Amino acid sequence: MYPVMVGLKERQVVRFALVGIGRAGTLHAECIVGNPDAELVYVCSRSRQTADTFAATYSARVARNIDEVLTDKSIDAILIASSTETHIEYMRAAVRAKKAILCEKPIGLDFAAVESFRNEIAETGAVIQIGFNRRFDPSHAAIHEAVRSGSIGQPEVVIVTSRDPSPESRDYHASSGGIFLDMTIHDFDMVRFILGEDPIEVYATGSVMVDPMFAEIGDLDTAMTVLKTASGALAHINNSRRASYGADRRIEAFGSAGMIQSLNMRPSLQERFNRGNTGLQVPFISDYTIRYREAFDRQLSAFISAVRGGGPLRVTFEDGRRAQILANHALNSLLSGRPEKVDYS
């Protein structure tokens, strides 16, 4: 077993270093600070000034560099929320230092490097959880559980609707690896999570409808994907980089004996009735602060539980790799204009 867990007593607080303090890093910091079983000790960032403010807000120390963190024996876990191209480098160092790792998706931009890193860690017992937070959303998890327990019979169809409120910056998208690797990767993971079966074929198409910027950087903002498994189950994902009414995250699983949906949040409980209309006020919802806030908390708790030896990792490196393989094949399908057989070997 992985040695870092040996020393952790059942209810010992897990001491974290956070690498990366952008939007995802900020949310992770809030989760750590709000979790009685976790402590945010270090914050690492390339931008020293931002890091100072950030660390002050969360009562953490700014690490001079990653080595300071990794050589600190009191640190149990590294939460990696830095830009994607740095993930593998930081994970490699953390594995060597025998720290447990919670790393944001995707694993990396260069798939050859992902495969190479996979080989390195094959026999090390490294504790790496990939940041597919949506598995921890109570409603999405309920669909997974409903399918697993047979309550909709044999699963036949999964429909995932996943639309961002609005695009990020041009820089973000230009270095994101494209819509399939950056955004749809969550939905690929949802399909695998809910069907409990790996897609063997993927077809993807798309357009630039939201902002010509996406065409300029060789990306899409509107996409559709169709996947098929060995059992014949079919999955569809539709993505957009802009939804005027806020983050739209719905999943529907349809089977031989029923259907179950995970719907969007409705933070307001008011319903209004006027002449010719009735309305339910739905304030614009963001993913980070509202929709998946609880999922991020639960993701952290699950990681802490695994680090303490209290249970298996709920999202593995291999889960991260397979979703990324699907993203790669989706991109290939887009480029080739035809469906692609999926090779996970």
> Where do contacts with a second copy occur on this chain (CB under 8 A)?
138-139, 142-143, 146, 151, 153-154, 156-157, 159, 161, 163, 201, 203, 205-210, 222-224, 226, 228, 232-234, 236, 238, 240, 242-245, 248, 254, 256-284, 337-339
CB of 248 to a second copy, least distance (A): 7
Residue 273, Cα to own-chain centre: how many angstroms?
Answer: 39
Residue closer to a second copy (CB basis): 152 or 323 = 152
CB of 281 to a second copy, least distance (A): 6
Q: How far is CA 294 from CA 2, 136, 193, 300, in A?
A: 28, 8, 18, 10
Residue closer to a second copy (CB basis): 9 or 275 = 275
Q: What angle do CA 95, 318, 295 make, to 5 degrees?
A: 90
Q: Which of 291, 324, 345, 335 is nearest to 188 (CA)?
A: 324
Grouping H, G, I as helix, E, B as strand and the rest as coil, residue 258 is strand
Residue closer to a second copy (CB basis): 153 or 310 = 153
CB of 195 to a second copy, least distance (A): 12
Q: Which of 162, 139, 160 is nearest to 247 (CA)?
A: 162
CB of 51 to a second copy, least distance (A): 20
Grouping H, G, I as helix, E, B as strand and the rest as coil, residue 66 is helix
CB of 284 to a second copy, least distance (A): 6
CB of 164 to a second copy, least distance (A): 13
Residue closer to a second copy (CB basis): 146 or 307 = 146
Residue closer to a second copy (CB basis): 118 or 242 = 242
Residue closer to a second copy (CB basis): 284 or 344 = 284
